[in-house]
Chains A and B, each alone.
Chain A
Amino acid sequence: DIVMTQTPLSSPVTLGQAASISCRSSQSLVHRDGYTYLSWLQQRPGQPPRLLIYKVSNRFSGVPDRFSGSGAGTDFTLKISRVEAEDVGVYYCMQGTQFPNTFGQGTKLEIK
């Protein structure tokens, strides 16, 4: 199974400041079709997960442009340029390249 490792596991951030979360996979996430199925999801308290970023760097419908994704191969990053109060929650990276699809442990974003 592909292991996804996120850092940090907790991220206290000041409102309006930037936040960054890293995700490393135990093997390459490049699918045989040439795409890299690495996505980022947000789970606000008491809510189901919500897709933010797919295929490394594509924002899903309705996602604010302060969220951005980057990376390649086995190393990936989610950045939030200016954190807002509504961004509080847990962020997961997920690989969809092979089953079992796997998630990172989650990074809890909280406001200082």
Chain B
Amino acid sequence: EVQLLESGGGLVQPGGSLRLSCAASGFDFNTHAMGWVRQAPGKGLEWVSVVSGSGGTTYYADSVKGRFTISRDNSKNTLYLQMNSLRVEDTGVYYCAKGYCSNVICQAEYWGQGTLATVSS
């Protein structure tokens, strides 16, 4: 059974940092692209970042480029999102998602329950 468990969310002031983690199990982690999708309160879904199965290729939404860093540790089956210089508009639930393909997402097959990041003074 595929499981994705996010952690690391919380309340932070504007300009602060958070590091999100996603522990994965139930599949060959290093053969699937992984990504982060966020959802602002009452809003739709937005892809934030994707990393290939090997970790060698990364993609970022323009809204987070230069501030967020996606990475993965295939020995620990864990995906990360380092979020720096946080803004109020980064507030939302962050979901970890498993891709079908190895280099890009193709389709997001499984999703975690999400972790809430709140940026507020």
* A and B: bona fide binding partners: yes
Closest to B113 in A: A48
| Residue contact A49 to B45, C-beta cutoff 8 Å | yes
Chain A interface mostly: loop
Closest Cβ of chain B to A67, distance in Å, is 15
Known contacts: A49-B45, A105-B44, A106-B44. The answer to whether A99 contacts B108 by CB under 8 A is no
Closest Cβ of chain A to B64, distance in Å, is 10
| Residue contact B110 to A51, C-beta cutoff 8 Å | yes
A90 CA / B42 CA spacing, docked (Å) = 11
Cβ of A76 under 8 Å from chain B: no
Provide the residues of chain B in CB contact with A104, threshold 8 Å. 44
A66 CA / B94 CA spacing, docked (Å) = 30
| Residue contact A37 to B107, C-beta cutoff 8 Å | yes
Closest Cβ of chain B to A92, distance in Å, is 6
Number of contacts between A and B (CB, 8 Å)? Answer: 68
A48 CA / B50 CA spacing, docked (Å) = 18
Cβ of B28 under 8 Å from chain A: no
A103 CA / B61 CA spacing, docked (Å) = 13
Contact of B107 among A54, A98, A105 (CB under 8 A): A54
Cβ of A68 under 8 Å from chain B: no
| Residue contact A51 to B44, C-beta cutoff 8 Å | no
Cβ of B104 under 8 Å from chain A: yes
25 contacting pairs across A/B (C-beta < 8 A):
A35-B106, A37-B106, A41-B45, A48-B114, A54-B106, A54-B109, A55-B107, A90-B44, A92-B44, A92-B45, A94-B108, A96-B99, A96-B105, A96-B106, A96-B107, A96-B108, A98-B104, A100-B61, A100-B62, A101-B47, A101-B50, A102-B47, A104-B44, A106-B44, A106-B45
The list of the 8 closest CB pairs from A to B, nearest first, reads: A99-B59, A54-B107, A48-B111, A39-B107, A96-B106, A103-B45, A101-B47, A106-B44
Q: Interface residues, chain A, CB within 8 Å of chain B?
A: 31, 35, 37, 39, 41, 43, 48-51, 54-55, 60, 90, 92, 94, 96, 98-106
- Having A92-B45, A103-B45, one finds 4 other A-B pairs with CB under 8 Å, namely A41-B45, A48-B95, A54-B106, A96-B99
